[in-house]
Each structure stands twice: as structure tokens, then as C-alpha cells.
Structure 1
Amino acid sequence: MTDRDNLRLLLLLQLNQSPAYTADQEALRRRLGQSGTVATRDQVRTELAWLDNVGAIALRESGGVFIGMLGEEGLEHIQGARDIPGIRKPGPGELA
């Protein structure tokens, strides 16, 4: 497991807990920091783009800000119904 695999899962989990399964990059970065994970703006943007590329989220840009929306494949991954290589599998209790 790499730090990137972990960050990708944490981003999916944050989107899962967001209203309408949607959040912008700054809200995601702030929530990650509140839970003890430090990530730069560039790291968050890079991993959101990667998650979009593999179909785990839908990503759009508005005014220079990336906005991610959890997709069906990303939700299935965090629920354990699908395995997306490059994203850490959630452990027991992480979906609470």
C-alpha cells in the first residue's frame, strides 16, 4: 500500500460523507486535515484527476476549482463490492 492508495480511499470516503456525494477540492483537503491527513492542493487535485480517470468519481472544474462527485464504481469500491487497483481497500469500521 502506498500513501497515494490511502489518500485515494480517504478522498472517496470523504465524498461518501458529503451532501449529494459532492465536494470541492478545498473542502476535501480541509476535512482530510481535520482527520489527521495532510495533503497539498496539488496532491488533492492529482488524486481527484486519477480517480476520475479510473471512473471512481466524476470530476468537473469551475472557476479553477475541482469538484468531485462520487461515482457508482467508487461507491462499490468503498463498500467492498469492487476492487479498483491503486485504491486501498477500506478496513472494518471506516464506512461509519
Structure 2
Amino acid sequence: MNLALLMSEDRRLLILRLLAQDPGYQLNVYVLRPALQAMGHTVSHDLVETDLAWLAEQGLVTVGRASDVTVGKLTARGADVAQGLATVPGVKRPEPGE
């Protein structure tokens, strides 16, 4: 199995789950990056923005800007994927009990 692919899929799932935890279902890259690092993904600012753009292409988040900061907002489809109710190739499916 390709480690880089596994890491990307896991990181994308974590982004969706982090967005689902926020009361407004949105977080900026300056919050997402350290949250991902706390979960074992040491990533660049650029990579978080790239993941958000990829998730937006899949219809799982919307991406906007606030004061020149990228903000991701969870969509209903993204919430379904975060909960394991729907699957999208390129996003890890949650393990049972997660």
C-alpha cells in the first residue's frame, strides 16, 4: 500500500471531522494545521490549503477567504462522509466506533 496515499486519505477525513466539531462547521487553515499536527500529521500551510481545495472539488467543503485567510466550511455531503454514511475515493472511511 502507498503510504503517501494512506496519509492523504486519513488527513482529509480528519479535516472533515474537525470541521464537523466546530459549531459553525468552519475553520481556517491556522486552526486546521495545528489540529492536524496534534493528530500526527505534520503538514505545511500549503498542503492544508491543497486538501481543502481537493475536498471542495468533491463537494465535501466550500472554501472561502476571510481577511486573506482560507476558511473551509463543511457541506452536508462532507458531514455524511465524516460520519461514514457516505464514501468518497480519496477520503479514508472511519473505522467502526471512531
Shared fold per TM-score greater than 0.5:
yes
> Number of paired residues?
94
Separation of aligned partners in 2, 1:34 and 1:42:
18
RMSD: 1.3
* Structure 2 gap ranges (5+): none
Distance, in Å, in 2 between the alignment partners of 1:39 and 1:18 is 21
Structure 1: which 5+ residue stretches go unaligned? none
Decide which of 32, 35, 54 is 1:31's aligned counterpart.
35
Distance 2:80 2:34 in 1: 25
Report Cα offsets for 1:40-81 as digits up to 9, x if no partner.
Answer: 101100000100111001110123211011111111112222
Q: Which residue of 2 aligns with 1:75?
A: 79
Instruction: State the partner residue of 1:17.
Output: 21
Quote the offset at 1:2 in angstroms.
2.3
Return the letter of the residue paired with 1:26: Y
1:43 lines up with 2:47 in the alignment:
yes
> What does residue 64 of structure 2 align with?
60
